[in-house]
Structure 1
Amino acid sequence: MLGVVTDVMEAAAVQRPLFGGAFFALLPHSVQDVSDLREIPDNQEVFAHMHTDQSIIVELLEYQGGMTDPDAARHHFEDVATSNDAQGKAEIVSVEPLPLAQLALSSCSSAWTLTGHQLVSKFNEQAQNTVTIYMALFRMAQYSTDLLVTFNDPVAIE
């Protein structure tokens, strides 16, 4: 997921510390740490490309027990849709498992990807932008944590 690169988000990557150095991620050098511009909650790291509105958000969230792993991915997508005021204008395209053998993060019990679309208004504007949402959910029950990585890719900006 963090390796997703578009034409605008250049291929050259830089290792960036997350959550005070607890994690590291390779991110395109063309993204800016949004915490340099505005306050970000302690459980999030947000990076954005200033010209394309593409963004990568890494969140430490409460583990969603009592539901299947695919349902947990759907739950987090719906939570993002609510935060984006995209309720009723959000669609899930696919939810698929990630093979644990292919991950460097060895402490997760399961990992899932979700792809979807949302119609989102930015800064209370009337116009709605079509955004493709790519999510990777890393479930860590032993820490009561779901690690969620979201890549927002605006495909049609009004």
Structure 2
Amino acid sequence: MSEQMLFGGAFSVVLPDNRNDLSAVRQIPDNQEVFAHPHTDQSIIIELMEAVDAQEPDQVAIKTHFDDLAAANGAASDARIIHMEPVAKENITLEEADSCWYIIGEQNIAKFNEAARNTVELHMGLFRVGKFSTDILVTFNDPINIDVASSSHHAVPTSVVRWNTDNLRQVLTSLKLLDPGIFGL
């Protein structure tokens, strides 16, 4: 695990060492930072999102983001939340966050619009930052069942160490805002 600067140095976070910054190989939206495991289809995405209505409870906000992602993945009818819990403020370093929530869910996703669908376990952390009208979403995509017809189906050497939920917890507990100017202040 090592520190990674995000969004031009506006944030820092601790990520697994074995990662590829996908912005080096493809266009990534300005509101996202995307890192992929070099040997698996696992990824970690950190997004600055427009806040879900502040009047909505945090549980509704994280479910809204999960449902939006399921719709974007073409998995709206085949997605489910398995577990949801708040993360205690004393366990996070993002001081500006009003709250942090964590969910585990599953979605059956087709990569590159293929017919084959892969079961992906999604670990999602949501930081509600009302001061900046922003939700910061951290998503860990962990394929748990790859269809043999999927372009993602390939043998992963047994020596490869996959990312795990401890890696995501490290991301959630280490995210720090360094420059609030990113919010246009």
On whether the aligned pair clears a TM of 0.5, the verdict is yes
User: Structure 1, residues 13-50: CA drift from partner, whole Å, max 9, x if none?
Assistant: 12111000111111112110011111000000000013
Match of 2:120 in 1: 131
Match of 1:117 in 2: 106
Q: How does 1:8-157 map to 2 (within 5 A)?
A: 13-65=1-53, 66-157=55-146
User: Structure 1, residues 98-145: CA drift from partner, whole Å, max 9, x if none?
Assistant: 000111111111110011000000011110000000001000001000
- Kindly name which structure, 1 or 2, has the bigger radius of gyration based on alpha carbons: 2
Bigger strand share: 1
SS across alignment from 1:56: strand
Deviation of the 1:53 alpha carbon? 0.4
| Structure 2: stretches of 5+ with no match in the other structure | 148-185
After superposition, the CA RMSD in angstroms is: 0.8
In the alignment of these two chains, the number of paired residues is: 146
TM-score (norm 2): 0.77
* Identical amino acids, percent of aligned pairs: 49
Q: What is the letter of the counterpart of residue 44 of structure 1? A: Q
| Structure 1: stretches of 5+ with no match in the other structure | 1-12
In 1: Cα distance, 2:114 partner to 2:104 partner: 25
SS across alignment from 2:112: coil
Bigger helix share: 2
Q: What is the letter of the counterpart of residue 16 of structure 2? A: P
